[in-house]
Amino acid sequence: MMQAVKISDKVYWVGAIDWNLRDFHGYATRRGTTYNAYLVLGEKPTLVDTVKKEFYDEMMQRIKSVIDPKKIQIIISNHSELDHSGALAQTLEATEPDEVYVSAMGQKNLTAHFHRDLKLKIVKTGDKIDIGGDIISFLEARMLHWPDSMFSYLENEKILFSNDVFGMHLATDKLFDDENDEHVWPTEAEKYYANIVLPYSDIVLRFLEQVKKMGLTPKVIAPDHGFVWRKNPTKIVNLYTQWATQKPTNKAVIVYDTMWGSSEKMARQIADGLSSGGTRVRILSMHHNDRSEVALALLDSAALIVGTPVLNSQIFPAMADVLCYLKGLKKKNLLGAAFGSYGWNGAPIDVLTKTLEEMGVQIVCPAVKSMFVPDEQTSEKCREMGVQISRAIKEKIQ
Ligand code: FEO
């Protein structure tokens, strides 16, 4: 039987490890993930969140390793996305709890997921429940990252159940921050922020300020993905502040696809220009990289330069994909420009510039277009584009 993992005298992790997840709605999860659920053994045993539907049995085994699931009296659903609520309806049938607590939007969402009366009780920021000698208080975290998102705080033990926030997609059998490899998790935490939390960065900063004003000082932060922060919970809070601020550094990302190698040649010339100006550059071909890797690379960058060949009077499909994805992530403080190659109609390359503008990217220079293979003059124009963007970055970050 799979075992629960003890976090404190009263709190156990009863979640599931998804070692083989490689795609989380479009985000490449190269190291899998966990779905964390927590059991609080107050006089009224309380389950905080559940797991993805397919992992119901794993969660139940872990619960059974500690108590009879029928003894669970309270369930809290901090977040209605199906990786945490997929197993909720089945769990309710098996445990028949007295009360199920959710935010107002949580009630709406869960009803729309399950289309049945789940007898949910709505709580809001500041509400507290007594689970028999222990108090759990609630803090709504609207749009972090869904409208229903909510935190629960076990006051006596100062354990904050933070749903998706402060998590990462990392399958690990080590439950705590101090047990996990420092060479692995920082990139996964950053990638998770860049792909999940980034669009809500202003809300992150306001929310962290609100938490500070409330005097909330958690000893443990227990998110719904990845591991539990027990040694140094402030580490991830400080990283969130840094990432949410989106301060650009002297780095640029070139994202492109290529048909017969011309756009790739242009990308390399632009990179050379950027490097000559002292800007660090990453060149990502969409033929070989996932869109979520681009989002990660962009998080601390000051410029996004995008390139495409023209195919049937359109930009390349992989470029439409990544631009659609990045547009949704709303990265701020970016400079940029476009480039591309064509055979007889260069107009579609302007779609890239227009999309960058729609994303709020400040265009540094007009697009460079090459009819078929770039000649020496066009190559030099590309290099000059890199030099110009590097210069603009330095002016911006001074
Ligand atoms: Fe992990 Fe928003 O679900």
Give the catalytic positions in this structure.
25, 79, 81, 83, 145, 164, 192, 225
pLDDT band at 360; cut points 50, 70, 90: very high
3-state SS class at 264: helix
- Whether the per-residue pLDDT at 50 is higher than 90: the answer is yes
Nearest CA to ligand 1 atom 1: 164
Phi, psi of 311 (to 5 degrees): -130, 115
Using a 6 Å cutoff on CB, does residue 18 contact ligand 1? no
- Whether the per-residue pLDDT at 74 is higher than 90: the answer is yes
29 neighbors 169 (Cβ within 8 angstroms): yes
The whole-number pLDDT of residue 398 equals 86
CA of 375 to the centre of ligand 1 (A): 49
Using a 6 Å cutoff on CB, does residue 224 contact ligand 1? yes
- Cut 0.95: pTM above it: yes
pLDDT band at 259; cut points 50, 70, 90: very high
3-state SS class at 147: coil
pLDDT, tens only, 295-349: 999 999 999 999 999 999 999 999 999 999 999 999 999 999 999 999 999 999 9
41 neighbors 10 (Cβ within 8 angstroms): yes
Whole-Å CA distances, 126 to 129, 136, 140, 214, 320 = 10, 10, 9, 10, 44
Phi, psi of 144 (to 5 degrees): -120, 70
The whole-number pLDDT of residue 219 equals 97
Instruction: Taking residues 60-75, report their average pLDDT.
Output: 98
Using a 6 Å cutoff on CB, does residue 164 contact ligand 1? yes
3 neighbors 14 (Cβ within 8 angstroms): no
The whole-number pLDDT of residue 291 equals 98
CA of 115 to the centre of ligand 1 (A): 20
Ligand 1 atom nearest the C-alpha of 225 is 1
Ligand 1 atom nearest the C-alpha of 146 is 2
The whole-number pLDDT of residue 40 equals 98
CA of 83 to the centre of ligand 1 (A): 6
Using a 6 Å cutoff on CB, does residue 83 contact ligand 1? yes
Q: Where in the chain is the domain with CATH 3.40.50.360?
A: 251-393
pLDDT band at 263; cut points 50, 70, 90: very high
Ligand 1 atom nearest the C-alpha of 145 is 2
pLDDT, tens only, 268-282: 999 999 999 999 999
Q: Where in the chain is the domain with CATH 3.60.15.10?
A: 5-244
Using a 6 Å cutoff on CB, does residue 81 contact ligand 1? yes
CA distance 73 to 98: 5
CA distance 67 to 61: 10
Residue 257: Cβ within 10 Å count = 26
| Per-residue DSSP letter, 4 | P
Pairing of strands 5-6, 46-48: unpaired
Nearest to 5 by CA among 54, 59, 50, 51: 59
pLDDT, tens only, 193-234: 999 999 999 999 999 999 999 889 999 999 999 999 999 999
Using a 6 Å cutoff on CB, does residue 225 contact ligand 1? yes
pLDDT, tens only, 92-118: 999 999 999 999 999 999 999 999 888
Using a 6 Å cutoff on CB, does residue 169 contact ligand 1? no
Residue 132 gets the label, from left (phi > 0), alpha (psi -120 to 50) or beta, of left
CA of 246 to the centre of ligand 1 (A): 22
Nearest CA to ligand 1 atom 2: 81
CATH of domain 5-244: 3.60.15.10
Residue 1 is encoded by which pair of tokens?
């039987």
Residue 111 is encoded by which pair of tokens?
């009803």
CA of 346 to the centre of ligand 1 (A): 41
The whole-number pLDDT of residue 180 equals 98
CA distance 155 to 164: 20
- Whether the per-residue pLDDT at 158 is higher than 90: the answer is yes
CA distance 269 to 133: 67
- Whether the per-residue pLDDT at 379 is higher than 90: the answer is yes
> Helices in the chain by DSSP H: which ranges?
56-64, 82-85, 88-95, 104-114, 185-192, 201-213, 233-245, 262-276, 291-298, 317-329, 349-358, 376-397
The whole-number pLDDT of residue 389 equals 98
Nearest CA to ligand 1 atom 3: 81
DSSP assignment string, 45-101: -EEE----GGGHHHHHHHHHTTS-GGG--EEE-S--SHHHHTTHHHHHHHH--SEEE
233 neighbors 240 (Cβ within 8 angstroms): no
Ligand 1 atom nearest the C-alpha of 35 is 1
Using a 6 Å cutoff on CB, does residue 381 contact ligand 1? no
Using a 6 Å cutoff on CB, does residue 148 contact ligand 1? no
CA of 225 to the centre of ligand 1 (A): 8
Using a 6 Å cutoff on CB, does residue 264 contact ligand 1? no
Instruction: Taking residues 170-175, report their average pLDDT.
Output: 98
CA of 81 to the centre of ligand 1 (A): 5
Q: Which CATH class is domain 251-393?
A: alpha beta
Ligand 1 atom nearest the C-alpha of 196 is 2
As a whole-number percent, the residues of the chain with pLDDT over 70 amount to: 100
